[in-house]
Amino acid sequence: MTAQLTDPAVAAFVNAVNAGDKDAFFAALTPDATMADDGTERDLSDWTEKEIFSSNGRMDVESVSPDGRTLTTVYTNSTWGAMRTRWTFTVTGGRVSRFETGQA
């Protein structure tokens, strides 16, 4: 069962990931967006290409925080298989300006 995404910017992010749509993904982000994986800052473009787009990444949302900006998901890609992950988003002006992910 997929939890209901309540923040429109986060929903746009998840929908773009699940569709494999790079244009929609980057449209959901601010131009200066940043990210971290397991507490380590990463180059957003390189990381997303490797971990999402080239490896068919998919987010199956299990739970959503009350503010809609923290998710627990089962994240699956062809490199690592399926893992339970936590995603935290900062939204600025209706777009994601930062996200942090890591194993949950």
pLDDT in tens, 3-51: 789 999 999 999 999 999 999 999 999 999 999 999 999 999 999 999 9
DSSP 55-94: TT-EEEEEEE-TTS-EEEEEEEETTTEEEEEEEEEEEETT
pLDDT attached to residue 42: 98
Instruction: Give the closest residue to 56 by CA, choosing from 42, 31, 76.
Output: 76
Domains of the chain: 8-103 (3.10.450.50)
Q: Is the pLDDT of residue 1 over 50?
A: no
Q: Are 99 and 37 in contact (CB under 8 A)?
A: no
pLDDT attached to residue 6: 94
How many Cβ atoms are within 10 Å of 5's Cβ, its own excluded? 18
Q: What are phi and psi of 50, to 5 degrees?
A: -75, -45
Q: Which three-class secondary structure state does DSSP give residue 69?
A: coil
What is the pLDDT confidence band of residue 2, given thresholds at 50, 70 and 90? low
Residue 30 to residue 93: CA distance in whole angstroms:
8
Residue 92 to residue 61: CA distance in whole angstroms:
22
pLDDT in tens, 78-102: 999 999 999 999 999 999 999 999 9
The pTM of the full predicted model, rounded to 2 decimals, is 0.95
